[in-house]
Amino acid sequence: MIAVENILRERIFNKERIVDLLNADANESKFIFEEAARIKKKYIGNKVHLRGLIELTNKCSKNCFYCGIASSNKKINRYCLSMDEIERAIKFTDDNNYGSIVIQSGELQSEEFVSYVEKILHKIVEISWGRLGVTLSCGEQSEDTYRRWREAGAHRYLLRIESSDENHYYKLHPKNAKHNFQTRINAIKSLKETGYQTGTGVMIGSPFQTIENLADDLLFMRDLDIDMCGMGPYIEHEDTPLFQYKNICFSKEDRLQLSLKMIAILRIMMKDINIASTTAMQTLVNGGREMALKAGANILMPNTTPSNYRENYSLYKNKPGMDEEAEDSKQSIETLIERAGYEVAYSEKGNAKHYYNRLVSSAV
């Protein structure tokens, strides 16, 4: 094992070295976090960009073993926001100068759903006069759908790979045509080809995952040359098949430390990408999102879903902000960012710098 300081000095991030970094103890981890903070300051600056999050629908055609909105979970009420409700959320995000909006949903491929999203995208452009940046997170879709949504105004897309190791992927998902590992990878690639700022990410500390898997996940993101990343700790949900393995998972403390190290190492490896400080961080520990910002994240996503729907969008248990109105979330997000020592970047889209840099470097 090579000392953390030497790895950071030499800047060679192969699998073995990344494993060493992920295994670093609390004393050594300090160096990783210091280096990530230095790089973040230099390449990203002091600003945190916001994305007003709309959880459009919890209807989902998939059956991921970890997820509370999987179609086999009969214990939740399924909803889809009406255009009126969505318009209100768009106006809230725009009136408060968040700069960007994220539409997240269960994975549906019907023409009805695809055209509803298309209509929503037109509405966002219309209401905000094109001021708002638009990210979609609506799962695997055909290239044609990705193109339609791109043309309707979306320009960023987040599709998590969840695990870049094929064997581990099938511990988290049923092995069938609807949950095909290669199809998912192809979908991420097709997003890039369609011209989206493309993001992916993984769950950290999920059952059967190893430190080696996590090192591979970071290399996967680097090799794919992604523009954005959203990753966070796995949180067990009692109404899912993976709940039975809760006793063989990493401890909560280990998941927290691993998540922070994953963010910090990714920031060191991919200096100019956008990294989200995710809600799951906050679910795991109070103050988790603040810690993620300090570890290298630069994006926060205040929830603007009408509060009466939020409990039904429980991907995992104890999600924070369940009973808060959007206004409260705004206040708490601002306080959080300032407490972490950063500044809210209002009225800016906050596109990934990496996206522009990769376009420039592929043009020369």
Out of 160, 168, 319, 330, point to the residue binding ligand 5AD (CB under 6 A). 160
Q: Where are the alpha helices (DSSP H) in 135-210?
A: 143-151, 166-172, 181-193
| Structural tokens at position 275 | 């990294």
Shortest Å distance, C-beta 240 to ligand 5AD? 7
CB 77 within 8 A of CB 94: no
CB 90 within 8 A of CB 127: yes
Out of 20, 35, 107, 162, point to the residue binding ligand 5AD (CB under 6 A). 162
Out of 67, 187, 260, 336, point to the residue binding ligand 5AD (CB under 6 A). 67
Residue 340 CB neighbour total at 10 angstroms:
18
When the beta carbons of 36 and 235 are compared against ligand 5AD, the nearer one is: 235
| Structural tokens at position 321 | 């902000």
Interface with ligand 5AD includes 203 (CB under 6 A)? Answer: yes
User: CB within 8 A of 301, min separation 6: which ones?
Assistant: 50, 51, 52, 53, 102, 276, 278, 279
Interface with ligand 5AD includes 235 (CB under 6 A)? Answer: yes
* Burial (Cβ within 10 Å: 0-12, 13-18, ≥19) of residue 298: buried
User: How many CA atoms within 13 Å lie on the side-chain side of 107?
Assistant: 18
Region of 14-22, 168-176, 232-240, 350-358 interacting with ligand 5AD (CB under 6 A): 232-240
Shortest Å distance, C-beta 4 to ligand 5AD? 27
Region of 47-55, 227-235, 254-262, 328-336 interacting with ligand 5AD (CB under 6 A): 227-235
Region of 41-49, 234-242, 286-294, 299-307 interacting with ligand 5AD (CB under 6 A): 234-242
When the beta carbons of 287 and 341 are compared against ligand 5AD, the nearer one is: 287
Residues in contact with ligand 5AD, counted by CB under 6 A, come to a total of: 12
Q: Footprint of ligand 5AD on this chain (CB under 6 A)?
A: 66-67, 160, 162, 203, 232, 234-235, 237, 280, 315-316
